[in-house]
Amino acid sequence: MLNNAAESIMHVVTRPEQVMVRGKGSYLWDANGNRYLDFIQGWAVNSLGHCPPVLVRAINKQMKELLNGSPALLNNQMIAAADLLVKNSCLDKVWFGNSGAEVNEGAIKLARKYGAQHLNGAYEIITANNSFHGRTL
């Protein structure tokens, strides 16, 4: 299987040779049954660990009702999440993105628009060299 990966998956990051087959909490298991402490946690996507029962139940329930991966369509959960975020923050609107790269690009666009409209045309963005703003080609 590892040979197939080298042939079919584009190299964008150096990966260990182990092929992970399952996860639980903070641990991963490879195809040989070896257990590893997962320090990466899906690059912060799995901050609650792998397969927490409460999330598995919620995801299964939602999958039986509606799967909508696009912010182009409204759904009840999106509206409820937006209402909760607005109610508990200093924000008056929420924008949902699909990826880190998309969210960073959206944040830059919003900051530039705000600067142009409210800060006498200020629209320059300061970033750090070699910083990570999401995976793009």
What is the DSSP secondary-structure string of 116-130? HHHSTT-------TT
Quick one: 53 and 5 in the same domain?
yes
**Residue holding tokens 């998956």?**
9
Query: How high is the pLDDT of residue 1?
Result: 65
Question: Do 58 and 112 reside in the same domain of the chain?
Answer: no
On the 0-12 / 13-18 / 19+ scale of CB atoms within 10 A, 54 is: exposed
Q: Are residues 92 and 44 in the same domain?
A: no
Is pLDDT at 115 greater than 90 in this prediction? yes
Residue range(s) defining the domain that contains residue 120: 97-127
pLDDT value for 14: 85
Q: Identify the pLDDT of residue 2.
A: 66
Q: pLDDT band at 47, cuts 50/70/90?
A: confident
Residue 84 confidence (pLDDT): 98
- Res 29: pLDDT: 97
More confident: 123 or 3: 123
- The pTM of this model reads 0.63
Nearest residue to 34 via CA among 16, 55, 15: 16
Give how many domains the chain has, as a whole number. Answer: 3
Looking at residue 21, which CATH number applies to its domain?
3.90.1150.10
Tell me if 10 is assigned to some domain. Answer: yes
Looking at the fold, whether 5 and 61 belong to one and the same domain comes out as yes
Straight-line distance from the first to the last Cα atom of the chain, in angstroms, rounded to the nearest whole number: 25
- 73 and 23: one domain? no
Per the model's pLDDT, the better-predicted residue between 25 and 7 turns out to be: 25
Does 49 share its domain with 72? Answer: no
Taking 80 as the threshold, does the pLDDT of residue 106 lie above it?
Answer: yes
Boundary residue ending a domain (49, 65, 81): 65
Between vectors from CA 10 to CA 29 and to CA 33, what angle results, nearest 5°?
10
Q: Tell me: do 73 and 122 sit in the same domain.
A: no
39 and 50 in a single domain? The answer is yes
